[in-house]
Chain A
Amino acid sequence: MGRFGSVRAQRRFRRLAQGHRQAADRLPEHPLPLAVGGARRHGRGDLAAQTGQDGGQRVLGAGDRQLAQRAGRGDVGGEALVAAGVEVEAVHLQPAHDQADDPCPRRADLADAGDFGSAVDADRDPRRRRSHPVGEDIDPQVEGLRSMRLGSWVIARAADAIVDKGRRIAGAMLEAAEEDIEFAQQRFVIKGTDRGIGLFEIAAAARGDGIPSDLRGPLMGISDETMSIPSYAYTCAVCEVEVDPETGFVEVVRYTSIDMARAMAASRKGSARRCGRRASTTPDPASSYPARS
Chain B
Amino acid sequence: MPRADLLPAFETEISEVPSTTNPLGMRGGSEGGITPGLAAVANAIVDALAEFGVEHIELPITPERVWNATRAARDRTECHRPTPA
Contacts and interface: CB of A to CB of B under 8 A. Distances in A.
A115 B33 CA distance: 12
Interface string A222-240: 0000010111111111111
Interface string B15-37: 11111011111111111110111
B8 interface: yes
Contacts of A236: 36
Contact of B66 (A145, A231, A248, A258): A248
Interface in A96-115: 114-115
B24 A149 contact: yes
A280 interface: yes
Interface size class for chain B? 35 or more
Interface in B26-74: 26-33, 35-37, 39-41, 43-45, 48-49, 52, 61-68, 70
11 contacts: A148-B29, A233-B27, A243-B48, A248-B67, A255-B8, A255-B37, A259-B29, A261-B28, A264-B29, A272-B12, A289-B24
Given A153-B23, A232-B27, A280-B14, 12 more contacts: A115-B29, A233-B32, A234-B32, A237-B36, A238-B40, A239-B40, A243-B49, A245-B66, A254-B8, A262-B16, A262-B27, A275-B13
Interface in A226-285: 227, 229-243, 245, 247-255, 257-264, 266-267, 272-273, 275-276, 279-280, 282, 285
Contacts of A143: 28
Given A229-B22, A262-B27, A286-B24, A247 B63 contact: yes
Interface in A44-59: none
Given A252-B7, A276-B16, A261 B49 contact: no
Given A231-B19, A276-B14, A248 B27 contact: no
Contact of A266 (B14, B18, B36, B61): B14
B35 to A, nearest CB: 8
B44 to A, nearest CB: 4
B15 A239 contact: no
B6 interface: yes
A152 B28 CA distance: 12
Contacts of A230: 21
A237 B40 contact: yes
A30 interface: no
Interface centre among A152, A254, A261, A282 (most CB of B within 10 A): A261
